[in-house]
Amino acid sequence: MSLADPTPAGRFGEFGGLFVPETLVPACQELEGAFRDAWSDDTFRAELDQLLRDYAGRPSPVTECRRLSEELGCRLLLKREDLNHTGSHKINNVLGQALLARRMGKTRLVAETGAGQHGVATATAAALLGLECVVYMGEVDMRRQELNVFRMRLLGAEVRSATSGSRTLKDAINEAMRDWVATVETTHYCLGSVMGPHPYPWLVRELQTVIGREARRQCAERLGGDGLPDVVTACVGGGSNAIGIFSGFARTRVELVGVEPAGGAAIGRGVPGVVHGMKSYLMQDEWGQVLEAHSVSAGLDYPGVGPEHSHLAAAGLARYEQVTDAEVIEAFQVLSRTEGIIPALEPAHAIAWVLRAAPQLQGATVLVNLSGRGDKDVAQMMDLLG
Ligand SMILES: *Cc1c(COP(=O)(O)O)cnc(C)c1O
């Protein structure tokens, strides 16, 4: 009852793979071997479970949205990843990778970050385990997200600006990979989503399956009948929170719906291409240059998407929808007003899709992965709403 593993070459259908400079192939292979070993080791799993419980605050609850359900005519449930330490699902991934790095004898983490959320999470895990931490961030993003830059520095991380290209997330990824090539003896690259070269899309997915395992159990306890919701939905940037919750409901009757921002819809508007070590759907121009993504939510400003989502879309195993910034801003306010939960702008995409699709969801049970809390977005919303 879970998602299929990639092929030995790291493929999900035609997507995925390992498109990296030759110098990085051994590092990716070492990482795959180390993770395979750790993931089947009860001691590693127990240590991770303990951190997830005592440090991150898991299990995260499932909340029934009584007022909004009544308004919409469907039964709306939220998986509350917003209640985790550091405010999102990202902590699940970084705790696992930081433990893995230590197990591999590495003393230093490098990471990329766009809006700063993955950088903050990585710096947090590094502080916890006493690892050195360097976070690459586009120069433009550093100016836009100065609070997160300060947070990372408070946590003891060094933030380095990526000054090439558009000086945003995709350039930060390139610089982090360059750092890793040069320092692989001592350094683990802590990638932030289910993307990049094999084994990352699989490794990050496995670390996020905790969301789906918990949610499956919580639905079984709460719902009658077969214990399944009718629809499970999540926002998709790189796709890690979505694949995490989807994994708990794969190969069941549940409809899986990923929601992309209209301005960063790699699946909805992209074509297959190779970027950042993987083959996946990608927004690019007619010359194959990677396009900038634009969305009200900085955390979804990624022009690509994890390869497994490309595969699920191409195989018809999940459906992908797009919502506009205006719909997201509305959804952000609706959930705040009706349930007393201010969502991050990223999961507000999934809420926005539910609001739009409500006429077709009458009587259905819908589980939304509420991937993060909205504190980080309040100042931006104040500017937008005046
Ligand atoms: C980073 C982030 C996302 C996007 O990342 P995925 O890998 O697509 O999950 C979504 N929601 C929140 C709250 C985030 O911080």
* pLDDT at res. 1: 55
CA nearest neighbour of 294 among 265, 259, 328: 265
**Does the CB atom of residue 236 touch ligand 1 within 6 A?**
yes
Gap from CA of 344 to ligand 1 centroid (Å): 9
**Does the CB atom of residue 83 touch ligand 1 within 6 A?**
no
| Model-wide pTM > 0.85 | yes
Gap from CA of 346 to ligand 1 centroid (Å): 6
* pLDDT at res. 292: 80
Contact 258, 321 (CB under 8 A): yes
The preferred substitution site among 79, 117, 124, 257 for testing ligand 1, maximizing ligand atoms within 8 Å of CB, is 117
CA nearest neighbour of 228 among 256, 249, 250: 249
Gap from CA of 370 to ligand 1 centroid (Å): 10
**Does the CB atom of residue 372 touch ligand 1 within 6 A?**
yes
Gap from CA of 89 to ligand 1 centroid (Å): 7
Profile the chain (386 residues) by mean pLDDT over runs of 10 residues.
91 97 94 98 98 98 98 98 98 98 98 95 98 96 91 98 88 93 96 97 98 98 97 98 98 98 92 94 87 83 92 98 98 98 98 98 98 95 94
Gap from CA of 300 to ligand 1 centroid (Å): 7
294 a catalytic residue = no
* pLDDT at res. 96: 98
**Does the CB atom of residue 297 touch ligand 1 within 6 A?**
no
Give strand pairing partners of 372: 88
188 a catalytic residue = no
Assigned CATH class of 11-51+90-200: alpha beta
Structure tokens at 372: 């993060």
**Does the CB atom of residue 237 touch ligand 1 within 6 A?**
yes
- Tell me, which fold does domain 57-88+210-385 have in CATH? Rossmann fold (3.40.50)
Gap from CA of 234 to ligand 1 centroid (Å): 10
The preferred substitution site among 85, 241, 302, 308 for testing ligand 1, maximizing ligand atoms within 8 Å of CB, is 241
Does the CA dihedral 70-72-75-81 come out positive or negative? negative
Q: Which atom of ligand 1 is nearest to the CA of 115?
A: 1
DSSP 2-45: -PPPPPTT-EETTEE-----GGGHHHHHHHHHHHHHHHT-HHHH
Gap from CA of 22 to ligand 1 centroid (Å): 30
Query: What is the residue whose two structure tokens read 């299990």?
Result: 59
What's the Cα-to-Cα distance from 122 to each of 80, 127, 235, rounded to whole Å? 21, 9, 21
**Does the CB atom of residue 299 touch ligand 1 within 6 A?**
yes
Q: Among the options 28, 89, 235, 349, which is catalytic? A: 89
Q: Which atom of ligand 1 is nearest to the CA of 344?
A: 13
* pLDDT at res. 287: 84
**Does the CB atom of residue 371 touch ligand 1 within 6 A?**
yes
**Does the CB atom of residue 239 touch ligand 1 within 6 A?**
yes
Q: Which atom of ligand 1 is nearest to the CA of 373?
A: 13
Q: Which atom of ligand 1 is nearest to the CA of 88?
A: 13
DSSP 106-162: --EEEEEESSSHHHHHHHHHHHHHT-EEEEEEEHHHHHHTHHHHHHHHHTT-EEEEE
Delimiting residues of CATH 3.40.50.1100 domain(s) in the chain: 11-51+90-200, 57-88+210-385
